[in-house]
Each structure stands twice: as C-alpha cells, then as structure tokens.
Amino acid sequence: MFITIEGIDGTGKTTQASNIVEFFCELVGPEKVLWTREPGDWTKGSLIRELLLHSELKHLHSELYLFLIDRCEHVSGVIMPALQKGKIVICERYTDSTLAYQVWGRGLSLQKVEALFAWSGFPVPDKTIWLDMDVREALSRVLSRGDQDRIESDGLEFLSRVRKGYIDLQGREPERIKRINAEGTIGDVKGRVQREMEPLLNGIR
Ligand code: TYD
C-alpha cells in the first residue's frame, strides 16, 4: 500500500506522518512499514535537496527537472523496492506536490508535467492525505519556525495558488485524495486522519 501526505508548507505533515507510521507499525509491525519523504530521501538525495532549496535557479524548468530526478531515484531506489516487498509506504510529498507547486504555483503546463510522470512510470498512490488549512495561518507557522527555504519564501500569493492546486486536484480525484482540516490541535487532526485510514484497514486485517 502506498500512502502520500500532502499540503502547503506549515500544515503539520511530518507530525501527522509520524502518527500514521506509528499506527501502521502497531498494526503490521515496523519491519513492514517504510516512512520516507520528498525531496531528498535517498542515498544522494541531499545533493539535489540542497540545489532545490538553497540555490538561485535561473531557468524556469530547472526546479521541475530537479524534483523529477529526485523522484526517479526515490521511486526506483526506495519506494518500489519497499512496495515489492509488500511494505506499507508512507511518503511525505509526492507527485501532487509537483502539480500544486510547479503547475498551479509556477504556471508550468499540467499536460506536460503529467506526461512526464507517466513516461517516468511513477506509481500512483492508493491514498493521499491532504492536510488543508488557511494560507495565512500556515505561513505564520512557517515564519515562526524561522529559517525559510527558497520555496517557502515565495510568500502568500504563491502559496495561495498552490493551495488552489490542491483544491482542484482533490476535485479531480476525490476517491484518492482526502481533504483533512489541519486546523485545531495535533490530537484533533490525528483523529481526523485516523478516520480516513479506517477504510484502508480492511485489506490489511
Ligand atoms: P521541505 O522542507 O521538504 O517540505 P516541508 O516544508 O513540507 O517540510 O521542502 C520541500 C519544498 O519543496 C516545499 O516548499 C515544497 C516544495 N516541493 C515542490 O515545489 N515540488 C515538489 O515536487 C516537491 C516534492 C516539493
């Protein structure tokens, strides 16, 4: 099973990913669960992550290609081997991030980017948890953490377009992408996420 966690910056993806991972570890055992993230969670991934988040890229397409190289290596070296061993893979950010940020956010062609996904053979997640919240609230959380990366520092207008991307993507694929209200306490959000996980358990128990 392949589960992805999505949302604009500051929505608490890592915290909720950790809850989901714990939940599945208790259910099937930690050896059957893989927790990973994009960009950068493969052997040389920190090199691409550094280029993506902290360098001045001049060509409009460079950012897209770097995310795609990162995903190609992550899919073939990490995600696919785990899925082939029958593991449950929980991945923070994946193809929907590229669509929301590079297509809706930066204005690249949806058709072309989706064609690149298909050509690269990226597996489609079984379920995507989209943590959604007001853009101002999310941004103020990011700002309070200090230390912004290049993409986060693009600001309110950019993140509003990205959020619109997630809204549209969910509208296109309501069965796969589940919207979770990410406002409230960590416990509130955890409860909401867990309710979305319930239907998936039938295949496991
Ligand atoms: P990261 O610090 O990993 O994300 P988060 O803020 O969720 O902890 O930084 C990743 C940044 O890269 C984030 O701003 C989203 C962006 N991103 C894209 O623009 N496209 C993509 O395909 C992916 C995977 C991430």
What stretches of 146-183 show up as alpha helix (H) in DSSP?
Answer: 155-172
Q: 121 with 72: CB under 8 angstroms? A: no
Q: Which of 4, 8, 9 should be mutated for ligand 1, with most atoms under 8 A from CB?
A: 9
Q: How confident is the model at residue 199 (pLDDT cuts 50, 70, 90)?
A: confident
Average pLDDT, the chain: 94
Question: pLDDT tens-digit profile of 45-74?
Answer: 999 999 998 888 999 999 999 999 999 999
Q: Which residue owns the Cα nearest ligand 1 atom 16?
A: 151
Between the CA of 191 and the centroid of ligand 1 the distance, in Å, is 25
DSSP 88-129: EEEEES-HHHHIIIIIIIT---HHHHHHHHHHHTPPPPSEEE
Query: Given this model, what pLDDT does residue 198 score?
Result: 86
Query: Given this model, what pLDDT does residue 147 score?
Result: 65
pTM of this prediction? 0.94
Torsion sign over Cα 153, 155, 47, 38: positive
Between the CA of 197 and the centroid of ligand 1 the distance, in Å, is 24
Domains and CATH numbers, the chain: 2-204 (3.40.50.300)
Determine phi and psi for 41, rounding to 5 degrees.
-90, 60
Task: Give the atom of ligand 1 at the shortest distance from the alpha carbon of 151.
Answer: 14
pLDDT over 70 for what percent of the chain? 96
Q: Which of 97, 98, 144, 161 should be mutated for ligand 1, with most atoms under 8 A from CB?
A: 97
Averaged pLDDT, 167-191 = 96
CA distance 85 to 91: 16
CA distance 144 to 137: 11
Query: Given this model, what pLDDT does residue 143 score?
Result: 85
Q: Which residue owns the Cα nearest ligand 1 atom 10?
A: 39
For residue 87, count other CB atoms closer than 10 A to its CB.
18
For residues 149 and 67, which has the higher predicted lDDT (pLDDT)? 67
Write down the number of H helices and E strands in the chain: 9, 5
Largest CA distance in the chain: 50
Query: In this predicted structure, which of 102-106, 144-148, 195-199 has the lowest mean pLDDT?
Result: 144-148
Q: 4 with 93: CB under 8 angstroms? A: yes
